Amino acid sequence: MIQITDFNSGLQQLNQEKLAIAYISQPGCSVCVAVKPQLEARFAKDVPIYHFDGSKFPEVAGHFQALTAPLVVLLSHGKELTRSARFIDYSALTKIIAEFSDEKPDYAELFR
């Protein structure tokens, strides 16, 4: 899990990833404590996970329109694919990540 220490540079890194997870948490959130190890165990080997601490970066709530914590947003090149808040749908995340990894190559690009 990539711990974000600077909001703007972390967001810039996140937006450059082909596929990545933005994980927004708050201190003292018991659900956040339970979700973090689950995300790492299930997805860390497949996609980078960027952790934004909502108490350190209040602007993260506005940027991701986070109304509660934890918030898990799956993005591709900065575009939101899916989001889960509080109750994380791990099977939906797994399915979308698998679909991206099974992506067919662009044959026009291959034969240039």
Distance, in Å, from the CA atom of 36 to the CA atom of 51, rounded to the nearest integer, reads: 9
The token duo for 43 is 């997805």
What is the three-class DSSP state of 41?
helix
pLDDT by residue for the chain (112 residues), tens digit each? 999 999 999 999 999 999 999 999 999 999 999 999 999 999 999 999 999 999 999 899 889 988 889 999 999 999 999 999 999 999 999 999 988 876 666 667 667 6
In the prediction, which pLDDT does 105 show? Answer: 61
CA angle in degrees (0–180, nearest 5) for 75-79-84: 50
The token duo for 12 is 């810039």
Distance, in Å, from the CA atom of 19 to the CA atom of 77, rounded to the nearest integer, reads: 7
